[in-house]
């Protein structure tokens, strides 16, 4: 082996080492800088929890004197939407799909025939109390009649807020008046294209 060969071997050795060191170094797994890593940690929980922001204070509904005389009456309307006829407005429940929804995009008129005349003092209007029935405002007036044809306005048109946090109900006290028919005229509903009433209750102390 002459010196020339030794030099060649040495050069080859250096190159081989260099190449393989380069390959070995380059093949190492990359490490991301910790400053570029953000880990969003979870709180200590043993089970799913209520979230304070969405918990609702217990609501105690107002106790209304007398009897709901609309329950045995008969409700009719100037129309209804989809599968929500007027008869659902006094069937004793506002839950589920038991509600009346008036004809879309027009004044909704719901009339309850109490079957006999009563001295009435309070009207309770309710829609489904479930939270999924979000807050809405309905603009409505109330009128009464003895013959079902000639109505007298006893509550002028005003906005009423229905809020699931407060039972989605509105209680309207009126000066006691004798009536056989009670009518709602709903001109606006911020939560639908027409008026919606789950329960239309009319209270009297006559029974």
Partner 1 sequence: MSGNKNRVGGRIGFVIGCVLIYFFTVGIILGGIKVPATMAKMKVNAEIKKSKVVLYDGPKSLKDATDADLKFATEEGRDFEIKHCVDTKVLVNGKESYVYDTNVNNTHTWVDSYLPGQERTPITYFDFDGTVEITVEVPKTDINYVTVRPLKYGIKPQINKKKHTVTFTVDTPDSYTVEFNNNVKRAVHIFANEIEENLPDFDSEDVLYIGPGEWNIENIMLEDNQTLYISGGAVVHGIVNANFVKNVKVRGRGIIDGSTFNGWKGRMAKIPLKFDNCTNFSIEGVIALNPNAWVLQSYDSIGGKIKNVKIISSRPNGDGITLQSCNNIQVKNCFVRTWDDSLVVKNYDVNTDGITFDNVQVWTDLAQSMEIGYETNKGNKENSKISNIRFENITVLHNFHKPVLSIHNADNALVKDISYKNIVVEEATVGKGDGTPELMDIGIVNSGNWSTTMDRGQVENVTIDGFKVLYGNDSLPSKIKGYDAEHIIKGVHINNLEIKGKKIKSLEDGEFTVDDKTDDITIK
Would you call 123 exposed, middle or buried from its count of C-beta atoms within 10 A (0-12, 13-18, 19+)?
A: buried
Q: Nearer Cβ to partner 1, position 10 or 177?
A: 10
CB of 126 to partner 1, least distance (A): 17
Q: Nearer Cβ to partner 1, position 22 or 59?
A: 22
CB of 8 to partner 1, least distance (A): 6
Nearest alpha carbon to residue 154 among 125, 127, 184: 184
189/65 Cα distance (integer angstroms): 28
Q: Nearer Cβ to partner 1, position 141 or 193?
A: 193
Neighbouring CB atoms inside 10 A of 59's CB total: 13
CB of 146 to partner 1, least distance (A): 37
CB of 189 to partner 1, least distance (A): 8
Q: Nearer Cβ to partner 1, position 36 or 65?
A: 36
Binding residues for partner 1, per CB under 8 A?
Answer: 1-6, 8-9, 12-13, 15-17, 19-20, 22-23, 26-33, 36-51, 53-54, 130-132, 134-136, 164, 190-193
Q: Nearer Cβ to partner 1, position 38 or 156?
A: 38
Residue pair 207/67 in contact by the 8 Å Cβ criterion: yes
CB of 123 to partner 1, least distance (A): 24
The owner of tokens 């260099």 is 18
3 state DSSP class of 201: strand
* Residue partners of 190: CB distance under 8 A and separation at least 6: 136, 137, 138
Nearest alpha carbon to residue 79 among 108, 50, 57, 99: 108
Would you call 91 exposed, middle or buried from its count of C-beta atoms within 10 A (0-12, 13-18, 19+)?
A: middle
Q: Nearer Cβ to partner 1, position 49 or 57?
A: 49
Write out the H or E segment, with its range, that includes residue 20.
helix 3-27
CB of 118 to partner 1, least distance (A): 35
């Amino acid at each position: 082996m002459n010196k020339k060969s030794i030099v060649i071997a040495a050069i080859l050795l250096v190159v081989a080492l260099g190449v393989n060191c380069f390959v070995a170094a380059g093949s190492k797994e990359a490490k991301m800088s910790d400053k570029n890593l953000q880990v969003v940690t979870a709180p200590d929980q043993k089970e799913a929890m209520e979230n304070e922001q969405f918990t609702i204070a217990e609501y105690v509904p107002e106790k209304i004197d007398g009897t709901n005389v609309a329950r045995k009456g008969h409700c009719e309307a100037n129309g209804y939407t989809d599968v929500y006829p007027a008869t659902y407005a006094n069937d004793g429940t506002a839950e589920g799909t038991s509600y009346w929804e008036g004809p879309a995009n027009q004044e909704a008129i719901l009339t309850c025939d109490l079957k006999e005349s009563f001295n009435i003092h309070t009207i309770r209007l309710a829609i489904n109390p479930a939270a999924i029935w979000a807050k809405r405002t309905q603009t409505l007036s109330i009128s009464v009649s003895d013959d079902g044809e000639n109505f007298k306005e006893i509550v002028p048109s005003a906005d009423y807020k229905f809020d699931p946090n407060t039972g989605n109900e509105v209680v309207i006290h009126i000066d006691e008046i004798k009536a056989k028919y009670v009518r709602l005229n709903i001109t606006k509903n911020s939560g639908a294209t027409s008026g919606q009433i789950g329960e239309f209750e009319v209270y009297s102390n006559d029974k």
